[in-house]
Amino acid sequence: MKNKRSVKFRLETRYQATEKGKELITENVPIYLFFNFDGKQLRYYTGYRIDRSKWNPETERVKRNVFNKIGESATDINNHLREIETHVTDIYDGQKALKKNPTVSFVRDELKKRLGETDKSQVSIFIAFELFIAQESKLKTWTEGTKTKLNTVLAQLKDFYNSTYKFDFETIDETFLEKYIGYQQKTLELRNVTIAKNLKIFNWFMNWATRKKFNSNLTYKTFDPNLKGTNISKVIFLEWPDLMNVYKKDIPKPYLARVRDVFCFQCFTGLRYSDVYNLKKTDIKGELIEITTIKTEDPLQIDLNDYSRAILAKYKDEPFSGNKALPVISNQKFNEFLKVLGQFCELNTPETLVYFVGNERKEKTYQKWELLTTHVGRKTFISNALFLNIPAEVIMAWTGHKDHKVMERYYKIIAPQKKREMAKFSTNGKEK
Helix (H) or strand (E) holding 354: strand 350-357
Q: Are residues 36 and 143 in the same domain?
A: no
* Core vs surface per residue 224-240: b (16+ CB within 10 A) or e: eeebebbeeeeebbbee
pLDDT at residue 123, as a whole number: 62
Phi, psi for residue 199 in degrees, rounded to 5? -65, -35
Question: Minimal CA–CA distance to 150: which of 130, 123, 179?
Answer: 130
Q: Does residue 429 lie within any of the structural domains?
A: no
Straight-line distance from the first to the last Cα atom of the chain, in angstroms, rounded to the nearest whole number: 88
Let me know whether 385 and 409 are in one domain. Answer: yes
99 C-beta neighbours (distance < 10 Å), count: 6
Listed residue (274, 171, 170) closest to 214, CA to CA:
170
Whether residues 197 and 214 share a domain: the answer is yes
Helix (H, G, I), strand (E, B) or coil at 311: helix
Residues 244 and 172 in one domain: no
pLDDT attached to residue 281? 94
Structural domain harbouring 323: 240-422
Q: Same structural domain for residues 108 and 124?
A: no
10 Å CB burial of residue 257 (0-12, 13-18, 19+) is: middle
- Establish how many alpha carbons lie within 13 A of residue 160's alpha carbon, considering only the half-sphere containing its beta carbon: 23
DSSP string, 94-128: HHHHTT----HHHHHHHHHHHTT-SSGGG--HHHH
In a domain, 234, yes or no: no
Task: Considering only the C-alpha atoms of the chain, give the largest distance between any 2 of them, rounded to a whole number of Å.
Answer: 94
Give the C-alpha separation, 271 to 226, whole Å.
33
User: Contact at 8 Å (CB) between 44 and 35?
Assistant: yes
Same structural domain for residues 415 and 378? yes
Q: Burial of 165 by CB count in 10 Å (0-12 exposed, 13-18 middle, 19+ buried)?
A: middle
pLDDT at 432: 44
pLDDT at 151: 94
Phi-psi region of 21 (alpha: psi -120 to 50; beta: other; left: phi over 0): left
For residues 270 and 298, state if they share a domain: yes
What pLDDT sits at residue 241?
Answer: 93
Residue 371 sits in a domain whose CATH number is: 1.10.443.10
Let me know whether 247 and 355 are in one domain: yes
User: Does residue 189 share a domain with residue 133?
Assistant: yes
Is residue 252 domain-shared with residue 208, that is, in the same domain? no
Domain count, the chain: 3
Mean pLDDT per 10-residue segment, the chain (432 residues):
81 81 87 94 91 95 89 88 93 92 92 72 78 82 81 94 87 90 93 94 93 85 86 86 96 96 96 92 93 82 94 93 92 94 96 87 92 94 89 87 77 67 60 46
